Amino acid sequence: MKNKTALIFGVTGQDGAYLSKLLLSKGYNVHGVKRRGSTLNTYRIDDIYSDPLIKKNKFYLHYGDVTDSISVFNIIKKINPDEVYNLAAQSHVAVSFEIPEYTTNADALGTIRILEAIVRVNKKIKFYQAGSSEMFGKVVEKPQNEKTPFYPRSPYGVAKLYSHWITINYRESYNLFASNGILFNHESPLRGETFVTKKIVKGLCKIKLKKQKKLILGNLYSKRDWGHARDYVEAIWKILQHKKPDDFVICTGKQYSIKQFINLVAKQLKLKLFWKGKGINEKAYDQNDKLIIECNKKYLRPSEVDTLQGDYSKAKKQLKWKPKININSLIKDMISYELKLLKR
């Protein structure tokens, strides 16, 4: 049987890197779409990329942008892949309040550009849409599953909800194999630097090594259901291998507050933290009463998602998927990567 070909929009991101490696390990030809920037953005995939003109490999990169219909159409037409994974997004919730129109263009309209290209080029191409637990927003029930009504709380969440429904609409209208993952927060050593887990792990590692004095955060009390990106890209792939297109919640079912996450990281780093104060004035000190963590309202959002906790029963039953990496192993992985970098 011929090897499958996958096309990944958002290949340079956290999930793009893990998914590329997974698909290559399964024998796929992997094509990725990267954006042109004034600085290089391929550090997460540099280890698997070598110029095909120099060395024949099965990993190819193309310049494109999901806000540019021409590039989206041309790439899909040229590659005519078996599977398209749409991971491309302005993925930072807080930033989506500052650039709402761009976020909508990339995260909502980007999806319809890809779906339209698939309809015009080849309706047999399977499509995965990277949906988010942010769509549950101000949650109306706990835990959240595929039947939970949505209530997004940010331009990002609203844009992702458009993509969720347009994926279902194209599935029903054109009989496409188009599926949504509704993924809860997932992290890894490759997580973007401004997301809270990475910021905490990096900040506390630097404080431990005396390379940074303090860490400044926002809301310490929101709760998230955090998994490992390596587990979640396995689920993404399984969603497209399922016998029929469908929508799946992917999560761990466990939740922790930001403060609990900090305490777990500090424990692994053998940093003793003493918490004082409440709300935005809550602060953490070390055993010498030196200030290590404080909060600033700069990092608060106009509207917050207070709690997220998923139920992955459907994925467990139908995809035979469950998370393998727990929160402490995730933190261990993130810390060891960070310490290695810092000690280099």
For ligand G4F, the closer CB: 73 or 312: 312
Amino acid at 3: N
Site for ligand G4F in 23-52 (CB under 6 A): none
Q: Within 10 A of 207 (CB to CB), how many other CB atoms are there?
A: 20
**Among 200, 199, 217, 89, residue whose Cα is nearest residue 154:** 89
15 lines the binding site for ligand NAP (CB under 6 A): yes
* Interface mask toward ligand NAP for 119-148; x: CB under 6 A: -----------x-x----------------
Residue 23: name its binding partner from ligand G4F, ligand NAP, none (Cβ under 5 to 8 Å by kind). Answer: none
301 lines the binding site for ligand G4F (CB under 6 A): yes
Among 6, 7, 12, 325, binds ligand NAP (CB under 6 A): 12
For ligand NAP, the closer CB: 16 or 218: 16
Q: Do residues 105 and 67 lie in contact, with contact meaning Cβ atoms separated by under 8 Å?
A: yes
What are the C-alpha distances in Å from 275 to residues 8, 126, 291, 295? Answer: 44, 50, 10, 12
Q: Output the CA torsion 135→138→144→145 (10° steps).
A: -40
For ligand NAP, the closer CB: 44 or 208: 44
89 lines the binding site for ligand NAP (CB under 6 A): yes
Measured in whole angstroms, how far is the alpha carbon of residue 136 from the centre of its chain? 16
196 lines the binding site for ligand G4F (CB under 6 A): yes
Q: By CB under 6 A, which span of 59-67, 107-115, 130-138, 143-151 interacts with ligand G4F?
A: 130-138
194 lines the binding site for ligand G4F (CB under 6 A): yes
Q: By CB under 6 A, which span of 54-62, 106-114, 276-284, 297-305 interacts with ligand G4F?
A: 297-305
For ligand NAP, the closer CB: 16 or 143: 16
Listing DSSP states for 226-240 in one string gives -EEHHHHHHHHHHHH
Task: Give the distance between the most distant pair of CA atoms in the chain.
Answer: 65
Q: Quick one: tokens of 195?
A: 């997301």
Distance, in Å, from the CA atom of 13 to the CA atom of 321, rounded to the nearest integer, reads 23
Measured in whole angstroms, how far is the alpha carbon of residue 50 from the centre of its chain? 25
The DSSP symbol for 210 reads T
Q: Within 10 A of 322 (CB to CB), how many other CB atoms are there?
A: 15
Q: Output the CA torsion 32→37→40→42 (10° steps).
A: -20
Q: By CB under 6 A, which span of 38-46, 53-61, 100-108, 296-304 interacts with ligand G4F?
A: 296-304
Distance, in Å, from the CA atom of 299 to the CA atom of 305, rounded to the nearest integer, reads 14
Site for ligand G4F in 67-106 (CB under 6 A): 91, 93-94
Backbone φ and ψ for 307, nearest 5 degrees, come out as -150, 135
Residue 301: name its binding partner from ligand G4F, ligand NAP, none (Cβ under 5 to 8 Å by kind). Answer: ligand G4F
184 lines the binding site for ligand G4F (CB under 6 A): yes
- Cis before 143? omega within 30: yes
186 lines the binding site for ligand NAP (CB under 6 A): yes
Q: Do residues 94 and 301 lie in contact, with contact meaning Cβ atoms separated by under 8 Å?
A: yes
Among 129, 167, 185, 188, binds ligand G4F (CB under 6 A): 185
72 lines the binding site for ligand NAP (CB under 6 A): no
Q: Quick one: tokens of 31?
A: 């094509």
Backbone φ and ψ for 164, nearest 5 degrees, come out as -60, -50
* Interface mask toward ligand G4F for 239-258; x: CB under 6 A: -------------------x
For ligand NAP, the closer CB: 32 or 203: 32
Q: Do residues 326 and 270 lie in contact, with contact meaning Cβ atoms separated by under 8 Å?
A: no
Among 27, 149, 192, 277, binds ligand NAP (CB under 6 A): 192
Q: Which residues bind ligand NAP (CB under 6 A)?
A: 9-16, 35, 37, 41, 65-67, 87-91, 106, 130, 132, 183, 185-186, 192
Q: Which residues bind ligand G4F (CB under 6 A)?
A: 91, 93-94, 132-134, 184-185, 194-196, 199, 217-219, 222, 224, 258, 299, 301, 304, 308
